[in-house]
Amino acid sequence: MKIRSKLAYLFAVIVASLLLGFSIGIYYLSDGYRKNEFSERLREKAVTTARLLFEANEQISPQTLKLINDQDVSVLDNEDITVYDENGTIIYKNNSEPQSINRKILSKLNKKNELLLREGDREIIYFQQKEKNKTITVIVSAIDTYGITKLNFLMVILFFGWALSVIIIIITGWIFAGNALAPISDVIHQVEQIDFSTLDKRVKAGNEKDEIAQLAETFNRMLVRLQKSFYIQKSFVANASHELRTPLTIIRGQVEVALMHQRNSEEYKSILNSVLEDVKEMSELANELLDMAQASSDISTLPFKTARIDELILQAKSDLIKKKSNYNIVVNFIEAPDDEKFFELNVDERLLKNAFINLMENGCKFSSDHQVQVNIFFREKNIFLKFSDKGIGISNADLQFIFEPFFRSENVKSFPGHGIGLPLTKKIIDLHGGEIEIESVLKEGTTFSILLPRADDLVEDTYSKPLEM
Ligand code: ADP
């Protein structure tokens, strides 16, 4: 069921039930009032009859009473009066058919001198009066034709009034629900117009204060995030293609030049060596891109296991030295504890080792002494690492872009690289629940500080701990 129908239906049911309750209440109150009023009239009749017969029975005979009664303008519809004396003898009746009285009623009358009963449409009052050893019982009954007709008329009015109101409520409820929900339909229509090529569109909603405007605002914020990540992805693919195309163009040029005419083996060897360099660079970039994709994937799919920080750092060092033998990586374990638990981390070994290699390689690459200092500190809840070099440094303006893929500072254009290593390193550290910070001064050096949660520690504890330099 659509919200519009649901609202209209609910509204109609609630108001119709209220009106029905109200109408039933009015009907029963009116009926009660009619009954009271009619009983009062019956009582008056009974009391008057008793008074005339009993108190003044010396002067008024039953015949005279009948005469008086027949002349009475307040005579009730279908009125029957029967009067009994204490012996059960009828002393007066206004009708050929006298009304009977049974023992049960008599015993009730002994306790209470008045009793009201109803038989079909006929209402009856039994009234007993005792005086000077004499008791008379007056039975007056009549039909409240006028009151019942009025009541039936009221019932018809209430029923048709209720039915008409229900119809009006359903129609107005449907219209109001439609009006109230119109902005939602409008938002749905606007959202349907947005696809990946029109992510710059924004949803507009009504008075900009209500819940629908808030929904549109939330949706717009999501669009901004989507647009941003879509842009990042697009530029990432464009940059990656560009970085791969450059060495491919160089390789192609070298091969074409080599094939132009016959060369001696020395020349072929030098060309092949140059091609090999470019291929190595390409394969490094491809590996970094693959790592980037992996580090962006679902954490549960990665092979996390417990590893020792000292082994990871030393492996990273030896892998880098194998590649660049002129690099000098100085590793210091500061106040290393005896308990080996302090060395353990829960990691994807390959990714974290690559992150360390990136930091070591950058430190050596961007400093004239090709040296990087790695200091490892052991804390109760985490392991803290510092990678420091005395290299070219990073300007303050560039620090904010340093973790963006393919970003490279102006002062490193003469160095080889693609600008993927650092963003990848940050992604890997994030993936391990760690933090990374940079401190750098141009032409003096750079320090990368990393905080990693220990294997046996709760991740939350580490997140809450500020990074101390
Ligand atoms: P690459 O080393 O391939 O240029 P990275 O992603 O590793 O790319 O680093 C991105 C940029 O950050 C580098 O181009 C450089 O401008 C800057 N950078 C990173 N590490 C250092 C460092 N130790 N010293 C100076 N600049 C650095």
pLDDT at 50: 83
C-alpha 408 to ligand 1 mean position (Å): 6
Report residue 402: phi and psi, to 5°. -60, -25
Its sign, for the CA torsion 90, 91, 97, 103, is negative
Q: Mapping DSSP to helix (H, G, I), strand (E, B) and coil, where does residue 122 land?
A: strand
**Contact between residue 129 and residue 135 where contact means Cβ atoms under 8 Å apart:** yes
pLDDT higher than 60, residue 364: yes
C-alpha 419 – ligand 1 centre gap (Å): 7
The residue nearest atom 13 of ligand 1, judged by CA position, is: 408
Interval between CA 277 and ligand 1 midpoint (Å): 20
Are 46 and 80 in contact by the 8 Å Cβ rule? The answer is no
The one-letter amino acid at 94:
N
Say yes or no: do domains 211-292 and 302-457 share a fold. no
DSSP-derived pairing of the beta strands 122-131 and 114-119: antiparallel
Q: Which amino acid is at 359?
A: L
Q: What is the pLDDT at residue 56?
A: 60
Pocket test for ligand 1, best of 412, 427, 449 (most atoms within 8 A of CB): 412
* Distance separating alpha carbons of residues 88 and 86, to the nearest angstrom: 6
pLDDT exceeds 60 at position 58: no
Residues linked to residue 122 through DSSP beta bridges, in sequence order: 119, 143
pLDDT one-digit tens code per residue, 279-327: 998 998 899 899 888 888 777 888 899 999 999 999 999 999 999 999 9
Quote the strand ranges of 26-113, DSSP E.
80-85, 90-93
Mean pLDDT of 197-207: 83
pLDDT above 70 for 194: yes
Residue tagged 């360390």 (tokens): 356
In three-state secondary structure terms, 328 is strand
Alpha-carbon dihedral angle through residues 269, 275, 279, 280, given to the nearest 10 degrees: 60
CATH superfamily of 3-150: PAS domain (3.30.450.20)
Query: How far, in Å, are 20, 113, 162, 180, 320 from residue 174 at the CA level?
Result: 20, 60, 18, 10, 74
395 alpha carbon to ligand 1 midpoint, in Å? 11
Could you report how far apart the first and last alpha carbons of the chain are, in Å? 60
For residue range 429-446, what is the model confidence (pLDDT) as tens digits?
Answer: 999 999 999 999 999 999
pLDDT at 436: 96
For residue 428, pLDDT beyond 80: yes
Locate the domains of the chain by residue range. Answer: 3-150, 211-292, 302-457
Which residue is it, tokens 């119809």?
167
Q: Which atom of ligand 1 is nearest to the CA of 389?
A: 23
For the cut 90, the answer to whether the pLDDT of residue 357 exceeds it is: yes
Gap from CA of 381 to ligand 1 centroid (Å): 30
pLDDT tier at 198, thresholds 50, 70, 90: confident
Say what the pLDDT of residue 380 is.
84
Mean pLDDT of 345-356: 94
Q: Which atom of ligand 1 is nearest to the CA of 417?
A: 3
**CATH level 3 topology of 302-457:** Heat Shock Protein 90 (3.30.565)
- Ligand 1 binding pocket, CB closer than 6 Å: 358, 362-363, 366, 389, 391-394, 402, 408-409, 412, 417-422, 446
Bridge partner residues of 307 (DSSP): 345
> Beta-carbon neighbour count of residue 214 at 10 Å?
12
Three-class SS of residue 185?
Answer: helix
Instruction: Tell which atom from ligand 1 comes closest to the C-alpha of 445.
Output: 24
Question: Ligand 1 atom closest to Cα of 363?
Answer: 23
Residues 6+ apart with CB under 8 A from 317: 329, 331, 360, 374
Asked if 203 and 216 touch (Cβ cutoff 8 Å), the reply is yes
Residue 330 C-alpha from the chain's centroid? 54
Distance CA 92, CA 98 (A): 9
Q: Give the span between the Cα atoms of 445 and 195, in whole angstroms.
A: 47
pLDDT of residue 57: 52
The tens digit of pLDDT for each residue in 121-157 reads 899 999 988 877 788 889 999 999 999 999 999 999 9
Which residue out of 243, 402, 427 has the highest number of ligand 1 atoms within 8 Å of its CB and is therefore the one to mutate? Answer: 402
CATH number of 211-292: 1.10.287.130
